[in-house]
């Protein structure tokens, strides 16, 4: 079984869906990450309860809020 951090390395610079605690989601291009699964997304859209909240040029997502990441 692959470790989550290794899976992020295989995703590379592609668009991802990041589901967070509190019914929040970010959709954007994965630009970077660290061993704590903190994520950097560029050209990201923020959603709450399925509705668009706003668009961001750059977003840093704290890893302990991440439920899942989908390519």
The parent domain of residue 46 ranges over: 4-70
For residue 26, is pLDDT > 80?
Answer: yes
Tell me the CA distances in angstroms from 53 to 11, 36, 69, one per residue in order: 26, 26, 19
How many other C-beta atoms can be found within 10 angstroms of the C-beta atom of residue 32?
12
Question: What are 70's two structure tokens?
Answer: 């989908």
* pLDDT of 6: 77
* pLDDT of 66: 94
Question: pTM, whole model, 2 decimals?
Answer: 0.88
**CATH code at position 24:** 2.30.30.100
**Mean pLDDT value across residues 44-68:** 95
Q: What is the mean pLDDT of the chain?
A: 91
H-helix or E-strand spanning residue 2: none
**Mean pLDDT value across residues 21-50:** 95
For residue 1, is pLDDT > 80?
Answer: no
- What is the number of domains present in the chain? 1
**Mean pLDDT value across residues 52-65:** 96
């Amino acid at each position: 079984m692959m470790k989550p951090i290794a899976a992020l390395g295989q995703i590379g610079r592609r668009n991802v869906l990041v589901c967070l605690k509190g019914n929040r989601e970010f959709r954007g291009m994965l630009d970077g990450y660290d061993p704590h699964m903190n994520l950097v997304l560029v050209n990201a859209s923020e959603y709450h309860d399925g509705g668009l909240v706003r668009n961001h040029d750059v977003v840093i997502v704290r890893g302990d809020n991440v439920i899942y990441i989908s390519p």
